[in-house]
Amino acid sequence: MNLVHPSPISSARLGLFVAALLAACSGEGADSTALDSTALDSTAIADLEARADRLVAAGVPGVAVAVIAGDQTVLIARGVADRATGEPMTPDHRFRVASVAKSLVASVVLQLADEGELALSDTVEDWLPGMLRENADATLEDLLRLQSGIFSYDRDERHMAPYFAGDFEYRWTPEGLVGLAAEHPALFRPGEQFDYSNTNYVLLGLIIQKSTGRPLADVVRERITEPLGMSTAEMAMGSEMTAPYARGYMLGLAEEPLDVTAISASSVFGNGNLVATVRDTAVFYGALVRGEVVSGAQLPQMFRPDPAVAGTHYGMGVWRFDDDGIQPCGSFVGHDGAAPGYDGTSFSTLDGARQYAVFTNTLAPGDVVGDEAAQQAYRELVVAAACN
In-domain check, residue 149: no
Task: Mark 202-211 as b/e (b = at least 16 C-beta within 10 Å).
Answer: bbbbbbbbeb
Q: What are the tens digits of pLDDT across the range 118-136?
A: 999 999 999 999 999 999 9
Mean pLDDT value of segment 157-166 = 96
Task: Using DSSP bridges, classify how beta strands 362-363 and 249-250 pair: parallel, antiparallel or unpaired.
Answer: parallel
Contact predicate 368/375, CB 8 Å:
yes
DSSP state of 304: S
Q: How far is residue 357's CA from residue 258's CA, in Å, rounded to a whole number?
A: 24
Dump the DSSP string for 263-287.
Answer: S-GGGGTTTT-EEE-HHHHHHHHHH
In-domain check, residue 3: no
Residue 191 CB neighbour total at 10 angstroms: 18
Residue 16 CB neighbour total at 10 angstroms: 16
Q: How many domains does the chain have?
A: 1
User: What pLDDT is attached to residue 208?
Assistant: 98
pLDDT cut 70: percent of the chain above it: 90
User: What pLDDT is attached to residue 254?
Assistant: 85
Q: Give the alpha-carbon dihedral of 158, 164, 167, 173, to 10 degrees.
A: 30
In-domain check, residue 122: no
Contact predicate 217/188, CB 8 Å:
no
Opening angle at CA 385, ends 356 and 26, nearest 5? 165
Contact predicate 276/346, CB 8 Å:
no
Q: Which amino acid is at 300?
A: P
Opening angle at CA 75, ends 30 and 359, nearest 5? 85
Q: What are the tens digits of pLDDT across the range 300-357?
A: 999 999 999 988 999 999 999 997 666 778 999 999 999 999 999 999 999 999 999 9
In-domain check, residue 49: yes
Q: For residue 352, what are the domain limits?
A: 11-117+215-387
Q: How far is residue 87's CA from residue 241's CA, in Å, rounded to a whole number?
A: 16
In-domain check, residue 332: yes
In-domain check, residue 142: no
* pLDDT above 60 for 17: no
Please list the active-site residues: 99
Mean pLDDT value of segment 233-260 = 95
Contact predicate 313/319, CB 8 Å:
yes
Mean pLDDT value of segment 288-308 = 96
* pLDDT above 90 for 359: yes
Q: How far is residue 76's CA from residue 302's CA, in Å, rounded to a whole number?
A: 31
Tell me if the bond preceding 227 is cis, omega within 30° of 0. no
pLDDT, mean over the chain? 91
Mean pLDDT value of segment 162-180 = 97
Lowest mean pLDDT among 69-78, 219-228, 252-261: 252-261
In-domain check, residue 5: no
User: What pLDDT is attached to residue 326?
Assistant: 66
User: What pLDDT is attached to residue 105?
Assistant: 98
**Where residue 355 sits, what CATH number does that domain have?**
3.40.710.10
User: What pLDDT is attached to residue 310?
Assistant: 87
User: What pLDDT is attached to residue 259?
Assistant: 97
User: What pLDDT is attached to residue 140?
Assistant: 98
Order of strands, sheet of 95-98, starting from the edge strand that comes earlier in the sequence: 95-98, 274-276, 234-235
In-domain check, residue 328: yes
